[in-house]
Amino acid sequence: MANIAFLGTGLLGGAFAEAAAKRGDSVTAWNRSIDKVHALAQFGVKAAATPAAAVRGAARVHIVVKDDAVVDEVIEAARSGLSPDAILIDHTTTLPALTAKRAERLHAAGLKYLHCPVFMGPPAARNAQGIMMATGPKALFESVQTDLAKMTGRLEYLGERSDLAAVNKLFGNAMIIGLSAVIADILTLAQASGVDGEDAIKLLGLLDLNGMVTGRGLNMAKGNFTATFELAMARKDVRLMLETTGNRPMAALPAVAARMDQLIAAGHGAADASALGIDAVQRP
């Protein structure tokens, strides 16, 4: 049994605290809305009135809050209660530049800090599923590796560069948000065409999206835009999509069309449609 603390018990933090208590850890938690902590009492989670009270005696302090400003605020509020050997484990999605500065500042002050953002929702957090990334001093990570592995289906240590997990979290969330926007447009296209949305989604299951990432995506990253699907032809197809949906609200495709028009005007119409990323990479 470990004595651990959670600062922030929203949907994700609360799920983590619940799971930890069920595993047998002694869990104390703080949240601005204390009712959210009290709701965890049924699992054995103890409520603390302040961050400093929550972390007193804790070997690990898990931070799951909104943003950089709140991370800094709760760490400062907790410092008077931290034991010398306590390890701060920050699961918050944060700005990479501020994450690097935070890590440097905390390590210089003698505090132990790892940034460990996750790809998981509350159900995954309760059931140790999903992905957790970690960055920070290797020895520090190794000292809690076994404990972190109990919280997730997959634990990835990305190295000592303190902002790298923050960067990769943005990569993943960009994919999730971008994909959601494109799916929204597909559903709008289906609606405009009199096709059931569930049937449209089932068709997407026939596409090898992983293959597209490892094939087309790696070619893009290498700056290889040799055409297999010309940008000008892809723009024509996007025109057909937009004409089909009419004046219905669209989430992503109008912006894609505008970017295609810029690139075609710049002379890239015969390049592959993946030339949408031409300005993001070094070209041969």
Q: Predicted confidence band at 283 (pLDDT cuts at 50, 70, 90)?
A: low
Structure tokens at 163: 């902002």
How do the residues of the chain divide into helix, strand and coil, expressed in percent and rounded to 5? 55, 15, 30
Structure tokens at 13: 């933090």
Read off the pLDDT of residues 105-124 as tens digits, 9 standing for 90 and up: 999 999 999 999 999 999 99
Read off the pLDDT of residues 77-89 as tens digits, 9 standing for 90 and up: 999 999 999 999 9
**pLDDT for residue 187 is more than 90:** yes
Q: Predicted confidence band at 281 (pLDDT cuts at 50, 70, 90)?
A: confident
Name the average pLDDT for the chain: 96
List, in order, residues 6 or more apart from 171 with CB less than 8 Å away: none
Q: State mean pLDDT over 186-191.
A: 98
26: nearest Cα among 60, 49, 52: 60
C-alpha separations of 46 from 79, 88, 200 in Å: 19, 19, 47
Q: State mean pLDDT over 171-195.
A: 97
Structure tokens at 109: 């002050």
Read off the pLDDT of residues 4-57 as tens digits, 9 standing for 90 and up: 999 999 999 999 999 999 999 999 999 999 999 999 999 999 999 999 999 999
Read off the pLDDT of residues 169-182 as tens digits, 9 standing for 90 and up: 999 999 999 999 99
- Which amino acid, residue 132? M
**pLDDT for residue 157 is more than 70:** yes
Which parts of the chain fold into alpha helices (H)? 11-23, 34-38, 51-55, 68-78, 96-108, 122-126, 138-149, 164-193, 197-204, 209-212, 218-221, 231-245, 253-265
Helix, strand or coil, per DSSP, at residue 127: coil
Structure tokens at 196: 């059931």
Structure tokens at 59: 């070997």
Residues 178 and 172: their CA atoms lie apart, in Å, by: 10
